[in-house]
Structure 1
Amino acid sequence: MKKLSFINKIIYTINIIVAVLLLLSFALPFLPPKTFSVLSVLNLGVSFLILVNVLFFLYWLVKLKKQFFLSLIILLIGYFSFGSLYKFSASKKIDSPSNFKVMNYNVRLFNLYDWIPEKGIENNIVDFIKTEAPDILSIQEYHPHENIDLSFFKYKFEKLSGKKVKYGQAIFSQFPIVNSGSIEFPETGNNAIFGDVIKGNDTLRVYNIHLESLHISSEVSSLKKEDSERLFKRIGTTFKMQQFQTELFLMHKKQCKYKMVICGDFNNTAFSYVYRKIKGDLNDTFKEAGNGFGRTHDFKFFPVRIDFIFADKDFSVNRFKAFNNHYSDHFPISTTLSLE
């Protein structure tokens, strides 16, 4: 560092801070938010920290300075521990007679309050779902909108709450749903629901989870208005709630003997404690068959993946797609599975 110019010394100091923060964030999936709630806030910035470390690595590499090793080592630790933030391989596409498609979509009440200033958003969502024709559809923030007709699905289970405006989670299926229920999360409108689906000779358990929301705006002006200390405290409290909700879900999941598919909006990233706990030994279908960033939330600053579809290892993951349809603050995702 002695041979660096004054400006490069400042840059390298910032590089050290960002690298240490990224390294610390790699430990967060193993630290319960109830104990480390303040540190857990780093979960949300892992994508940003990775991208910044990539820029630092390239900066020092171009200058032929050995300081590039710092970010390189941290990035390699992350790669071998969690995989790549960006998947460079082409999406897997395997056709099979036993294929069936599962879609997950947080529809944000079908734009009930005109967050998107465009008419007919709810119809666009329905048309999109019809075109993609999933066999199983998992929806968060579902609302029985008067213009919504999803009757092309043969079976459904929904769990709604709210006094004036009904909302909640729903599962739609082309396969018979022979059993269903809800896992109630206290003091919130969020919950998890499940449906036992008959496909051929198999019974599959489909979970739809909506963990506590962070209520973070993607607008810079809105974030600037909120006191940073209060924002961090609120996020930490939300992560504690997410951990409790996850624990309730896992107790229910433990009793299930069927092969399962878990869909949901976790309101947290793949570098979080709740992601690791819910995923367990299941496959993350994006990692198995997707490509790119797999972005699922309309966050303006960097790509965020907070919606997931996990599948039992008995399933072959033959396809995954993250869509860019801007009809909600979330983007839909789908996977094609088969059970040989």
Structure 2
Amino acid sequence: MLLSLIVLLLGISHVTSLYRLRGKSLAEDTKDALSLLTFNVHVFNRFKWIDSEEIPKDISEFIKKENPDIFCVQEFYNNPNIDFKQYPYKYDYFHHRSQELALVIFSKYPFVKKGSLNFENTANNVIFADVVTPTDTVRVYNVHLQSHGISSKTDDLTKADSQKLLKRIQTSFKKQQSQTEQLIAHLKSSPYRNIVMGDFNNTAYSYIYDKIKSEDLQDTFKEAGRGFGKTFNFELFPARIDFILVPDDAEVISFKSYDVELSDHYPISSKISL
């Protein structure tokens, strides 16, 4: 009984990483709120994983409806049916050797500076832009850390060679650690407060999440989210691998995760006051 109590006490601080009973009301919104949204669009369903021809159009309509001030996209692909013309400022960086896959930052506010971390020997990457918002200039990072390259479906995982699967995950974890160290060094050199958004390809219990968040950042889901906040369509459990991390001294007004079948990821958004 005593051992069980100790275990519960040790683990209770991590419960909010997995599930939150209540969020914040949108009624708490303020006029100077900055709205943020991140979405791994999975190349706009280019290879027809979802049985629909309308995914690019549907994602465009979804973004128009939500209308975030800053919108970060991972696995962007130049599809003729997408429309994000409401954003006058855009930074896209095609790091993939095929020059087809990009990270993009869309913004309603101008950029002072922008750039890429240029990870080596991978299609994954991090880009950044210094955004002049009405209340402050902030550095926004769009993150897509090393992918594991494994299926999200249970049947595929049970058929996979366990040794090969383990070796692949070990390799990707090592790359994630190296990429995180590069990102943290860049965060430390930033002249502005930082906002980090995107696909970490790892959970809120991971080493990389903990290291990034420790750079004076807070997790908007933990502050204002509700439920599991799942961001990835994984059959075994509600996986939260996409994050919006904002400065510790910012007020998190709201957080929302969207249960929309437009990608293998689910978009998430947050409103903050700087």
TM-score normalised by the chain length of structure 2: 0.95
1:73 deviates by 3.7
Question: Is 1:319 aligned with 2:254?
Answer: yes
Q: Which of 159, 180, 185 in structure 1 is aligned with 2:119?
A: 185
Distance (Å, rounded) in 2 between the aligned partners of 1:176 and 1:192:
19
Question: Is 1:288 aligned with 2:228?
Answer: no
Q: Which of 168, 172, 197 in structure 2 is aligned with 1:234?
A: 168
Q: Which of 233, 241, 245 in structure 2 is aligned with 1:306?
A: 241
CA contact (8 A) 2:95 2:125 kept: no
Alignment partner, residue 179 of structure 2: 245
Identity rate of aligned residues, in percent?
46
1:244 deviates by 0.3
Distance (Å, rounded) in 1 between the aligned partners of 2:4 and 2:79:
49
CA contact (8 A) 2:231 2:257 kept: yes
1:217 deviates by 1.0
Task: Trace 1:1-340 onto structure 2 (pairs within 5 A).
Answer: 73-80=6-13, 83=16, 85-93=18-26, 94-162=28-96, 164=98, 166-280=100-214, 281-339=216-274
Unaligned runs of 5+ in 2: none
1:320 deviates by 0.2
Distance (Å, rounded) in 1 between the aligned partners of 2:135 and 2:231:
33
The range that moved more, 226-235 or 73-82, is 73-82
Amino acid corresponding to residue 160 of structure 1 in structure 2? F
TM-score normalised by the chain length of structure 1: 0.77
Unaligned runs of 5+ in 1: 1-65
CA contact (8 A) 1:88 1:292 kept: yes
Instruction: Pick 1 or 2: higher relative contact order, CA cutoff 8 A, min separation 6.
Output: 2
Give a deviation string over 1:154-206, Cα, whole Å, max 9, x none: 10100013455611200000011121000011100111000111112521110
Distance (Å, rounded) in 1 between the aligned partners of 2:183 and 2:37:
20
Distance (Å, rounded) in 1 between the aligned partners of 2:180 and 2:97:
26
Give a deviation string over 1:218-253, Cα, whole Å, max 9, x none: 212211221112111110111000000011111111
CA contact (8 A) 1:168 1:190 kept: no
CA contact (8 A) 1:219 1:300 kept: yes
Detail structure 1 runs of 4+ shifted over 6 Å in the superposition: none
CA contact (8 A) 1:298 1:331 kept: yes
CA contact (8 A) 2:154 2:236 kept: no
CA RMSD of aligned residues (A): 1.6
CA contact (8 A) 2:36 2:271 kept: yes
Matched pairs, number: 272
CA contact (8 A) 1:154 1:173 kept: yes
Structure having the higher helix fraction is 1
CA contact (8 A) 1:192 1:209 kept: yes
